Every structure is written in structure tokens, then in C-alpha cells.
A and B are shown apart, each in its own frame.
Chain A
Amino acid sequence: MNPETVLKTNPMLAWREIDGSIVIISPEHSMVHELNPTASFVWKRVDGRRTADEIAEQLAAEFDVTRESALADVHELVESLVANQLVSALELAEVKAHV
């Protein structure tokens, strides 16, 4: 994943933090997803401004994991979120063009 890739949640989703975990409803597909605490940490930082690498840095600082491990985990998670249409990955240039 390009380090300049910015992550944005799908605006059609409904979601809430329930008991420490993010629960996501996808109205278009009638699907419910529940994220584990680490994935929930990442989800709460997907704001259309941060890149996956920036979120991984925060994950490494918050949890007792190396930067490399956090990067690998976040990239794997983001790929899964993108594949499930929960998150879209935008190039930084694309984001700047819309500002």
C-alpha cells in the first residue's frame, strides 16, 4: 500500500462502539461486522485525513508492538476493510484535490 494512501470510511455505513468494539452495519448488503479491539482502534482513526502508516504509528505507540508489526497488521486489516467496502483508500493527491 502506498504510504500516501489516505483512508476514508464508507459514508453509507452505520456504526457504533459497543462495549469496546466497533459494530458496523452495511445497509446495502444487510451485513453486520464486528471489529476486535485493535481493529476498532484503527477504525476510530480512519477519518479521511490519516494514512494507514500514520495509524500504524499510533497503534505501535498505544499497544506493545513493534512499528513493523503494527504496519503489517494495519495494512492487512485495511485490505480486508477495503475488500468489504467498509473503507475506501484514496491517494493523498486525490484528497488534496477535493479540499
Chain B
Amino acid sequence: MHLKYESVIREPLVDGNKSYHQVTEDICATIENKPTKLWTIGFLISASLLAFGMFSVTWEVYWGTGVWHLNKTIGWGWDITNFVWWVGIGHAGTLISAILLLFRQGWRTGVNRAAEAMTIFAVMCAGQFPIWHMGRVWDAFFVLPYGNTRGPLWPNFISPLLWDVFAISTYFTVSLLFWYSGLIPDFATLRDRAKTKFRKAAYGVVSFGWAGSAKHWQRHEMLSLVLAGLSTPLVLSVHTIVSFDFATSIVPGWHTTIFPPYFVAGAVFSGFAMVQTLLVITRKVLNLQEYITIGHIEAMNKVIVLTGSIVGVAYLTELFIAYFSGVLWEQEAFRLRVLGPYWWAYWAMMTCNVVSPQLFWFKKLRRNVWFTFFMSIIVNIGMWFERFVIIMALHRDYLPSSWSYYTPSWTEVGFYLGSFGLFFTCYFLFAKYFPVIAIAEIKFILKTSGENYKNKMTEYEDQTNEHFLEEQTHHH
């Protein structure tokens, strides 16, 4: 048996005096109790936003995409901004569950379930935008390479827009499988604790007859590893391909080689900000502060300052190379970004994404819940502006007579609000009916990183290094 030991220099990942049973009790409580008033109000607000979004989209489908304020010069507006923004947000979950798993980061267990759920909902929201942008959505299946009678396969295989279809649908599928396979043992726990017949039957169906036998756990672990392996490249590939949508073109401001890694860093940045927004509230409302500790929040803030700085280096690199390249179009595109009609968007982006996250260099601020919540909103605003700034490179093309300025119509705003409705409706349902923290995974780290267990580790801390080494390497 491997020694359950962790250095005292690390703070506990589970606070308080917890046993395995107590963990189950704490996490299942919200699911087994009646929904609170706060939950009901929140859910109703989200559902009405969703309804308004559906109305806006119906309006757009009925009248055509003409009701959006897109024009010949600016063919992409809020729709693609929102698409990229949501896809980006959908990156934190898989990064936490796959890459942090490979990096053996124990703190991921407190936040991975909610982050993965958020990923799935965010990707669902993202998918809406290109689909409804098609206008004639009944032809949406044209993006799929189905066999047809028109001769060669329909889609254009050298278009990054098509690669997007594959990348995002793969990402969605694998993330969903990963999330769901993690949920199975927890659903079984809920089933076993269920007091009503209906609940027992429902959780019984979704837990696929999980019995918790050694063989089940063995297969479960195997599956997790395989899915983690599959997801890791997907974390990079999805936003890489989204960036190709822009970077393969020859539009000044879009065609730049740094786009793929910089988009990925930005995606992780915004994803973690959204995880913070949701979890700061969730831990408070569901009383889970002992599982999502200040330490968890600080760790995620570190990721935010890191990725925010990477993005910052990329912004400055872009600016510098535009100047250094000597390409007049490129220089003009960047001059317009900084000082042109959309200057306000550029400076909003710079302030929110590069300047303000630098405050997280201070430990005090990283560990301040209110400040974290405030910053998470700021970062999400900043990352929305980043996509808007990039897409608005379109507003002045090579022909001055077609220069234009774009503001969204009410249907575009309604559509965006509707995506929030979809996202939060899903999240509220998730928070009520699913265990928001992975029960089995918390138990896995409890005896290494739980506060009460860590307190007992002084006996190892007091041993000399030689004695410790001797004991651990020769006794088994």
C-alpha cells in the first residue's frame, strides 16, 4: 500500500474533520433536500432568458439573417464573437480533468465536476451561433460529409470552418463521455441512498447498474485514463482550429502565426474565470466551502494570472510584429485597433485581460473571495472584447467606400442573452440533481490531503530524511 503522505507546506484540500461518510453526506445534501427559494428564483430567471433567446432566434429564422446588423463588409459580428467566447469558456473543464490529471494536481478533484459540466454547457451554447447564423437552418446538415447524389462529397475539406465542425463535435462527445463516466459511481451512491421509488429508479438507470466491485473500479480507472489521453490533445486542438478560422485568411490582423497557442491560452484564461464565477457562488450557496477552499480559489487565480500574461505577451507580439513586418496593411489594421473607431473595445480588452489580472501576483488578492469574483467577471468581459476586437478587423477593408461600423440589433443581443439562459438553466439543473463535487474523487485524496489526516502526518514530518527513505523503500 502506498503511503498516504503529503508535505505540510501544502494546505489541505478538504477542510474540517471529514470521514468518507461525512463527504457523502455533505455533497449529497443539496440533491436530497428540497430546492431552496434562491435556487427556484435563479432557475426561473435563467429559463426566461432562454425563452427570450428562443424568441429572438425564431424571429431571425422567420425574417432571415437580415434582421441582424451584419453587412457586406462586416459579415461576422456578435454571432461569431459569442461562438468563440463560449467555446473558449468550454476549455477549463477538460483542461482541469485531463491535463491537470496528467500533472497530478490533487486540487482538481474539488472543482473538476462543475468545471466539466460548465464545459459541456458552454460548448452547447457555442454551437448555437454558427448554426443559427446559417439562416436556412434546415440545411444545417450540409456541414456534414454525408454521401449524396450530387457527385463528390459536399463539404469543402480544405476549409477551417469544416474542421471546426469536426473539432467541436469531437470535443463535445469526448468531454461528455469523460464527465459522464466520472458521474457513474456518484449516481450509484445517490441511488443507494434514495428514499423514494422514483429517485431510486431514475438514479438506477443513469448509474448503469454500477455495483462498486473491484472489477468495476478497475475498468472505470482504465476508461478515465484513456479518455484523459484522448482529451489532452483536444484541449489544444479545438481552439487551435477556431483560430485557424481567422489565421488561414489573408485579412490583416487575422493572418498571424501566433494565433493557435494564443487562442488556447486565452480560452483557458476565460474558462478558469467562468469556473471562478460559478464556483464562488456555488460553494457559498451549497455550503461547500470545506471542499472548494480558498486554496482551490488561489490555485485557479494562479492559472488566471499565468494565462492572462501569456495572452498579454501575445497581444504585444502582434502589435510589435505588425510594426516590424513593414506591411502597411498590417500596420494600418493595428493602428485602427488601438486608435480607430473601435478603440474602446481594444482598450477594454487590454485593461481587463492584461493589466488587471496582474493584481493576482499579490497573494492577499488571490485569496480574497470577493476580489476573485469581481476579477472573474472582468476577465470574461475582457475575453469577450478580445474576440470582438479581432472580428472587427473587418470594419475597414481595402475599399474605402465599403467601410462600415457595426452595432448589434436587438435580435443579436437577445440571442446572446438566450445563450446565457441556456447555460444557466443547464447549470441550475446540474447543481440540483447532480453531485457538483466528484464524491469518489474527493474520497481518493481525502486521506492524503484532508485536514484531519494531514494533522496526523507530523510523525512523518519529524522523521529524518534517511529514516523516512529507509522505511519507505525497504519495508515493502
To the question of whether A and B form a pair in one complex, the answer is no
